[in-house]
């Protein structure tokens, strides 16, 4: 869970304004939603043209003026923005008035293994908060409901638990819990009166299995939301069978460019008030209903560090359908990105979330983790200009601390990762039982 500071989110007027808009706009006619989206995009384009050096330069080289972008369709005249460009041109992507909009630096590695720094500002934080609030409300959440945030890593936790009273969030890691201490976990959930679980689906599923095996059923949540990883069918089944509740799957980006949320009826709804989501085929044209394409997204609220047509590296199947829930928000049929292969640790447990470690390292251009045998990992590091060879030892040490001292970690410095892909890049590649040559 990203550290929650009230100062990063607090503007009462804007919070109330967007709370009012979002609860109504989910039922607006499509044309009215489109009008709001264009109003937000048009204002952002004005800002990018006048305040952001990267876009001024890029548009000049393309022979474009601000007046040439007069509709949503004209957005496609702009080039797709890759993660490499964001890394290389970070300084020029910051707005001239960067310091005036409460910008906060955020590090991300995502699942691509390439560390990157972006910035959040107050307006993008408010939309992040209110759009997720709306999503949770579909399942009965009310602001202030105590929730559990559970992930598959523990690197920032000094103890098994971290309680954030500001958002009433209880944070833990699935790596702390097994059959020997699951009763302790149950006691804490009851003491904090936790009603919602949010986190990695594999971490949530891990808790559900432990509680079911121990015969514990008095801490079942009323609301379950999966984040940050693709939700496998078997994991959904485990969670829903034990909790008796539907899982509200979600897709978001730390770059604050896109948000897609699943409703109780099963529909995956794009939040058009949050960002413009394009689903593009390999030739760059829009995918039709039922066709798979790459998600290219434009956040509509980040004035500090705006990303126009950002290539997320994730994939979805386009939809032309309407949802049985009655909401008119646009849909995708399925999400295909974020399938992160899990790692088998030395104790025989499947874990994930290792990619998150890599956002803390400077000096690494790209990286990939490959597993050929249980209890061992090969880590491949592509150095950046400021690489220091001490990083190789640091990376191995950090992964071992995360996964257990019994893990064998072999770190290699290479010119390119061993399993590149022209489709969805896999940061973790599980090759147990296969040779390096296969």
Residue 189 pLDDT exceeds 80: yes
Domain boundary among 312, 335, 358: 335
Asked if residue 263 and residue 115 are part of one domain, the reply reads: yes
Q: Give Dmax (Cα) for the chain.
A: 67
Asked if residue 210 and residue 66 are part of one domain, the reply reads: no
Q: What is the mean pLDDT of residues 265-285?
A: 95
Asked if residue 348 and residue 256 are part of one domain, the reply reads: no
Residue 262: inside a domain: yes
283-319 residue pLDDT tens? 999 999 999 899 999 999 999 999 999 999 888 999 9
CA distances from 263 to 71, 211, 247, 250 (A): 30, 26, 9, 9
Residue 331: inside a domain: yes
| Pairwise CA distance, residues 136 & 145, whole Å | 10
Cβ-based burial of 222 (10 A; exposed 0-12, middle 13-18, buried ≥19): middle
Asked if residue 184 and residue 208 are part of one domain, the reply reads: yes
Domain boundary among 178, 212, 245: 245
Q: Write the DSSP symbol of residue 54.
A: H
Bridge partners, residue 297, by sequence: 277, 310
Interhelix angle 233-243/201-214, rounded to 10 degrees, is 40
The total of structural domains in the chain comes to 3
Asked if residue 90 and residue 54 are part of one domain, the reply reads: yes
Do 278 and 296 touch, CB atoms closer than 8 A? yes
Do 302 and 310 touch, CB atoms closer than 8 A? no
For 65, phi and psi rounded to 5 degrees? -110, 165
Residue 1: inside a domain: no
Do 312 and 260 touch, CB atoms closer than 8 A? no
Please indicate whether residue 105 or residue 132 has the higher confidence score (pLDDT).
Answer: 132
CA distances from 261 to 143, 222, 372 (A): 18, 18, 35
Q: Residue holding tokens 């359908």?
A: 321
Bridge partners, residue 226, by sequence: 199, 249
Q: DSSP string of 229-298?
A: S---HHHHHHHHHHH-S-EEEEEE-TTSS-EEEE-TTS-EEE-TTTEEEEEE-TTSSBPPTT-EEEEEEE
CA distances from 273 to 14, 134, 153, 202, 400 (A): 14, 12, 32, 30, 42
Question: In the chain, what percentage of residues exceed pLDDT 70?
Answer: 89
Asked if residue 283 and residue 218 are part of one domain, the reply reads: no
Q: What is the pLDDT of residue 338?
A: 54
335-362 residue pLDDT tens? 876 545 567 777 777 776 676 666 567 7
What the block records as the tokens of 38 is 């264009």
| Pairwise CA distance, residues 89 & 54, whole Å | 7
Q: What is the pLDDT of residue 428?
A: 82
Asked if residue 363 and residue 325 are part of one domain, the reply reads: no
Domain boundary among 317, 335, 353: 335
Cα dihedral value 278, 282, 288, 293, nearest 10: -60
Domain with residue 392: its CATH number is 3.30.300.30
Q: What is the pLDDT of residue 313?
A: 83
For 263, phi and psi rounded to 5 degrees? -95, 170
Asked if residue 151 and residue 127 are part of one domain, the reply reads: no
Q: What is the mean pLDDT of residues 114-136?
A: 89
Strand (E) or helix (H) holding 333: strand 331-335
Asked if residue 121 and residue 46 are part of one domain, the reply reads: yes
Question: With bands split at pLDDT 50, 70 and 90, how would you rate the model's confidence at 426?
Answer: confident
Interhelix angle 12-25/30-51, rounded to 10 degrees, is 140
How many C-beta atoms lie closer than 10 Å to residue 290's C-beta? 11
Q: Which contacts qualify for 35-40: CB closer than 8 Å, 24 or more apart?
A: 36/272, 36/273, 37/72, 37/272, 37/273, 37/276, 37/300, 38/71, 38/72, 40/273, 40/300, 40/301
Instruction: Report which of 418, 437, 438 is spatially closest to residue 429, judged by C-alpha positions.
Output: 418
Asked if residue 364 and residue 348 are part of one domain, the reply reads: yes
Residue 267 is part of which domain span?
Answer: 6-136+251-335
Q: What is the mean pLDDT of residues 11-27?
A: 94
Q: What is the pLDDT of residue 385?
A: 78
| Pairwise CA distance, residues 189 & 284, whole Å | 48
Q: What is the pLDDT of residue 115?
A: 63
Taking the mean position of all CA atoms in its chain, how far away is CA 348? 27
């Amino acid at each position: 869970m990203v550290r929650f500071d009230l100062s990063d989110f607090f503007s009462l007027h804007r919070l109330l304004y967007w709370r009012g808009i979002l609860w109504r706009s989910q039922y607006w006619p499509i044309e009215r939603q489109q009008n709001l989206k264009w109003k937000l995009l048009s204002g952002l384009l004005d800002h990018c043209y006048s305040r952001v050096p990267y876009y001024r330069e890029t548009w000049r080289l393309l022979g474009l003026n601000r007046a040439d972008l007069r509709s949503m369709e004209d957005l496609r005249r702009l080039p797709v923005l890759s993660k490499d460009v964001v890394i290389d041109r970070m300084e020029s992507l910051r707005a001239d008035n960067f310091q005036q909009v409460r910008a906060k630096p955020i590090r991300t590695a995502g699942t691509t293994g390439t560390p990157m720094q972006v910035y959040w500002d107050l307006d993008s934080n408010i939309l992040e908060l209110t759009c997720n609030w709306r999503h949770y409300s579909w399942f009965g959440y009310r602001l202030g409901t105590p929730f559990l945030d559970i992930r598959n890593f523990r690197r920032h936790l000094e103890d098994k638990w971290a309680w954030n009273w500001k958002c009433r969030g209880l944070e833990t890691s699935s790596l702390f819990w097994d059959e020997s201490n699951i009763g302790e976990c149950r006691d804490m959930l009851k003491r904090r009166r936790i009603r919602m679980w949010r986190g990695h689906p594999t971490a949530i599923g891990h808790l559900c299995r432990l509680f079911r095996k121990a015969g514990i059923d008095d801490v079942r949540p009323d609301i379950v939301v999966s984040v940050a990883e693709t939700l496998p069918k078997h994991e959904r089944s485990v969670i829903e069978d034990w909790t008796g509740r539907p899982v509200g799957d979600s897709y978001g980006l730390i770059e604050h460019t896109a948000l897609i949320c699943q409703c109780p009826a099963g529909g995956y709804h794009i939040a058009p008030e949050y960002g413009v989501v394009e689903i593009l085929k390999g030739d760059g044209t829009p995918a039709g209903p039922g066709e798979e394409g790459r998600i290219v997204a434009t956040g509509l609220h980040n004035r500090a560090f705006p990303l126009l047509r950002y290539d997320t590296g994730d994939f979805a199947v386009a939809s032309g359908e309407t949802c049985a829930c009655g909401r008119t928000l646009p849909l995708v049929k399925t999400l295909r990105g974020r399938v992160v292969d899990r790692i088998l640790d030395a104790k025989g447990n499947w874990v994930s979330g290792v990619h998150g470690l890599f956002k803390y390292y400077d000096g690494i251009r790209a990286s990939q983790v490959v597993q050929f045998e249980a209890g061992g990992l090969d880590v491949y590091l592509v150095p950046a200009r400021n690489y220091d060879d001490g990083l190789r030892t640091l990376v191995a040490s950090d992964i071992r601390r995360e996964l257990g001292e019994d893990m064998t970690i072999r770190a290699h410095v290479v010119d390119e990762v061993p399993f590149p892909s022209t489709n969805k890049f896999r940061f973790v590649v599980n090759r147990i039982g296969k040779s390096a040559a296969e």
